Structure 1
Amino acid sequence: VAPAPVPAPPTVLVMLPWPGAPGTPGAAAQREANRRHLAHAVAAAGDKVVVCLGPGRGGVWPLVPSTAARSAERLAYALELYDQVWERQVCAGKRAMRVSVIGVIRAPTYLDAKPVVAAIGDATALHVLTPRPPSRARERQARALQLALPALRDVTVSQLREGISDAAPAEFLRSVRFLDDPRSLRRRVPSIVFGGTFDRLHSGHKRLLTAAAVLATRDIHIGLADDALLSSKRLGERIQPYDQRAEALRGFFAQLRPRARVHIFRLSDPFGPAATSKDLDAILVTSENLHMAAKINSRRSASDLRELEVFSLGRSHEDSLSSTALRAEGV
Structure 2
Amino acid sequence: MSKTLKYARNGALIFGIGNGLLNIFKQLDKIGNEPNLKFGWKKLAGATLKGAAFGGVSGLAIGSIADYQNSLEEPINTDAYLLSIIDKVRLDKNNRKYKSLDEKADRLIYLLKGKLGNKLSGEPMRLGSTEHGTALANNFDIDICLPFKPDSFASTAQMYLHLQDSLEQLMGRQSFIRTRGQKKSIGVLLELRGEERRIDFVPFKLTASKSSNTTSGYLYVNDSVNPTYTKTDIQALNSLRLTETQKKIVVALKHWKTKHRIPLNSHLLQNLVLDAYQRNSVPEKFTSKIMMVLRHIRDKMDVAVIRSVENTNNVLTDISDRKKAQIVRACRKTIEEYEYQPNSVTEIFEIE
Instruction: Give the TM-score of the pair, scaled to structure 2.
Output: 0.24
Structure with higher RCO (Cα < 8 A, 6+ apart): 1
Please identify the structure whose Cα radius of gyration is greater.
Answer: 2
Structure that is richer in helix per residue = 2
TM-score (norm 1): 0.25
